């Protein structure tokens, strides 16, 4: 009789829910970033005001000022992830392609490196100029992969090693 692995089923449920949110409801994730960042800013401002009212000095509020900056960064993350990461990746990949092209031209008959450089330059250009489409595609792929892994874990949660221990296969032989 196999024992149901509740831990695996719980992880599968979290993966499926996360995948659904990432793939089909990205606005929920953006709102979570804004809520967490806003709360961090508000709480740290309130703490600064309370310290100043109670007679504390501005130098004792350095951690709260850092907390406000972290809140601002958290609020900026959704827009950075949406456009910034593909833009930076496109620039890096594009420069790598240009470097390969110049290296292939200076070495002479290195056509494989020349083709690789051209492909990298094209991929870099796509990431730079069509970064919104690339971000949406990457988000969908990540979300669907999480859903698939979660479904796999859900179906395999009732099977396998019921003890949860690693099976020793050092002395295993195939005859």
Q: What pLDDT, on the 0 to 100 scale, is given for residue 58?
A: 67
Q: What pLDDT, on the 0 to 100 scale, is given for residue 173?
A: 62
Question: Each residue's pLDDT tens digit in the chain (175 positions)?
Answer: 556 667 778 888 888 898 898 888 878 878 888 898 999 999 989 988 888 888 776 666 778 888 899 999 888 888 777 777 778 888 888 898 898 888 888 887 678 888 988 999 998 888 888 777 777 888 888 888 888 888 888 877 655 555 555 555 566 666 5
Q: What pLDDT, on the 0 to 100 scale, is given for residue 69?
A: 92
Q: What pLDDT, on the 0 to 100 scale, is given for residue 80?
A: 75
Could you tell me the residue ranges of all domains in the chain? 6-156
Mention every residue, 6+ apart, whose C-beta is less than 8 A from residue 9.
Answer: 153, 154, 157, 158
Q: Report pTM.
A: 0.55
Q: Are 41 and 57 in contact (CB under 8 A)?
A: no
């Amino acid at each position: 009789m196999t024992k149901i692995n509740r831990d695996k089923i719980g992880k599968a449920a979290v993966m499926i829910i996360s995948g659904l949110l990432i793939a089909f409801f990205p606005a929920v994730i953006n709102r979570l970033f804004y809520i967490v960042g806003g709360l961090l800013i508000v709480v740290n401002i309130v703490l600064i005001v309370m310290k100043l009212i109670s007679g504390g000095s501005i130098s004792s509020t350095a951690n709260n000022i850092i907390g406000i900056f972290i809140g601002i960064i958290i609020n900026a993350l959704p827009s950075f992830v949406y456009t910034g990461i593909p833009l930076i990746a496109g620039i890096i990949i594009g420069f790598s392609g240009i470097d390969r092209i110049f290296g292939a031209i200076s070495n002479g008959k290195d056509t494989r490196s020349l083709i690789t450089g051209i492909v990298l330059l094209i991929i870099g250009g796509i990431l730079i100029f069509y970064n919104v489409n690339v971000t949406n595609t990457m988000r969908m792929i990540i979300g669907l992969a999480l859903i698939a892994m979660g479904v796999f874990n859900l179906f395999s949660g009732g099977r396998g090693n019921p003890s949860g221990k690693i099976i020793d296969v050092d002395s295993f032989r195939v005859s």
